[in-house]
């Protein structure tokens, strides 16, 4: 017997993501999914941005193992929940059900924004919806200017690109023209914010954009 | 990298659909479409499916995975084109303002159950 299906394989995940999004909207909470390769500066960006946002924040940290990033962010005095994917087989991304579970530990009437720092990876997190309002893809200048060409899906699904560690530009071979040209060929509307969390260059501009985009 | 996770979702969806028509289904064939713009490596997915299906209602099933080309619709001129690779650009007018209409997802297309199911 043949059964025609024609459904997305990830429907089970996407349904949970939609439910999460509805829950957040009902409570007036915005969720930001921060993605990028290991070491691109996701945690450091949160450390710089959260104090400047001036709203109540909670953070969901996703890592295969360990609590290192959660410990760093908790020093900001915000609620942090660590998801380790190792018990689930060491998944290289966060799925909607894991994020939904973490949100269950947050009092939604006490926060305005939830940041999700996804597992460090430019591949897998792009496939899995989690119910966020905004997707940030981060690349540091030291990783090379070829990332949009190598990982087009990630740059296509994301809403904004943060180009981090701009203070290192004079020490690395990073062709900004090539990077932006390749990016236009994947997601031409995507704004790019070049910044350095270390020197502070560009951070305020990014925070301003974020506040506007999240209607804070 | 995440093909095993995807395989588990395929099998979950397969079992859900099969159980709609049969109490104890035995799946013999599963066809999946993988968009070329997705990050899935077809050979890896096939390997993971064969592994993950053991002990499920799709144990021993044949898995066919078809690649789906990327189709774009231009927001400027309305042209629909198929492309093999980035950049995502309208081949008629050269605009980057395009929507991906096919080729960026992973779909369970159809399943076949053993005779008698």
The ipTM (two decimal places) reads 0.89
Give the mean pLDDT of B38-49. Answer: 93
Contact yes or no for A12 and B9 at CB 8 A: yes
Residue B45 sits at the vertex; the CA angle it makes with B71 and B108, to the nearest 5 degrees, is 55
Beta-strand runs (E) in chain A = 2-8, 30-36, 57-63, 79-84, 113-117, 134-140, 160-164, 192-194
For B38, the closest of A95, A127, A182 (CB atoms) is: A127
In sequence order, the β-bridge partners of residue B31 are B64, B110
Evaluate the CA torsion angle B72, A124, A18, B30 in order and state its sign: positive
pLDDT interval class at B37 (50, 70, 90) = very high
Residue A117 sits at the vertex; the CA angle it makes with A113 and A119, to the nearest 5 degrees, is 155
Using the predicted structure, report yes or no on whether residue B61 has a pLDDT greater than 90.
yes
CA atoms within 13 A on the CB side of B8: 9
Angstroms from A124 CA to nearest CA on chain B: 6
Report residue B108 as tokens.
Answer: 């369970």
- State the best of A2, A3, A92, A150 to mutate against chain B, taking most chain B CBs within 10 Å: A3
**pLDDT at residue A97, as a whole number:** 95
Neighbours of B59 (CB within 10 A): 12
Place of tokens 């087009």: A152
- Provide the whole-model pTM: 0.94
Q: Work out how many CB contacts closer than 8 A connect A with B.
A: 107
Which chain A residues touch B86 with a CB distance below 8 Å? 149, 152, 182, 185-186
d(CA A145, CA A126): 19
d(CA A43, CA A114): 14
Using the predicted structure, report yes or no on whether residue A66 has a pLDDT greater than 90.
no
Least confident window among A3-17, A84-98, A121-135, B83-97: A84-98
- State the best of B64, B87, B114 to mutate against chain A, taking most chain A CBs within 10 Å: B87
Contact between B88 and B99 (Cβ < 8 Å):
no
Report residue A48 as tokens.
Answer: 């710089």
Per-residue pLDDT reduced to its tens digit, A136-172: 999 999 999 999 999 999 999 999 999 999 999 999 9
């Amino acid at each position: 017997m043949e059964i025609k299906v024609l459904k997305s394989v990830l429907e089970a995940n996407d349904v949970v993501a939609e439910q999460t999004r509805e829950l957040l909207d009902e409570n007036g909470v915005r969720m930001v999914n921060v993605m990028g390769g290991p070491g691109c500066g996701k945690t450091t960006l949160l450390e710089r941005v959260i104090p400047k946002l001036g709203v109540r924040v909670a953070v969901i940290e996703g890592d295969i193992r360990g609590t290192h990033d959660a410990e760093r962010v908790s020093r900001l005095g915000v609620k942090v929940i660590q998801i380790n994917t190792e018990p689930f087989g060491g998944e290289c991304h966060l799925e909607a059900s894991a994020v939904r579970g973490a949100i269950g530990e947050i009092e939604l009437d006490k926060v305005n924004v939830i940041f999700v720092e996804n597992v460090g990876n430019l591949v897998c997190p792009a496939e899995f919806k989690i119910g966020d309002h905004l997707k940030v893809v981060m690349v540091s200048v030291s990783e090379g200017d070829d990332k949009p060409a190598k990982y087009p899906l990630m740059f296509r699904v994301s809403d904004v690109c943060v180009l981090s560690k701009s203070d290192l530009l004079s020490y690395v071979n990073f062709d900004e023209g090539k990077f932006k040209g390749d990016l236009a060929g994947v997601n031409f509307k995507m704004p790019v914010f070049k910044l350095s969390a270390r020197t502070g260059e560009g951070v305020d501009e990014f925070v301003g954009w974020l506040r506007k985009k999240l209607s804070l | 990298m995440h093909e095993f996770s995807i395989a588990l979702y395929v099998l979950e969806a397969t079992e859900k659909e099969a159980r709609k028509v049969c109490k104890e289904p035995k799946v013999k064939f599963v066809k999946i479409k993988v968009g070329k713009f997705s990050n899935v490596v077809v050979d890896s997915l096939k390997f993971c499916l064969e592994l993950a299906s053991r002990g499920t209602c799709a144990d021993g099933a044949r898995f066919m995975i078809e690649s789906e080309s990327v189709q774009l619709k231009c927001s400027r001129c309305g042209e629909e084109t198929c492309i093999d690779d980035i950049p995502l650009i309208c081949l008629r007018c050269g605009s980057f303002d395009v929507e991906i209409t096919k080729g960026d997802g992973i779909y369970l297309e159809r399943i076949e159950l053993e005779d008698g199911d």
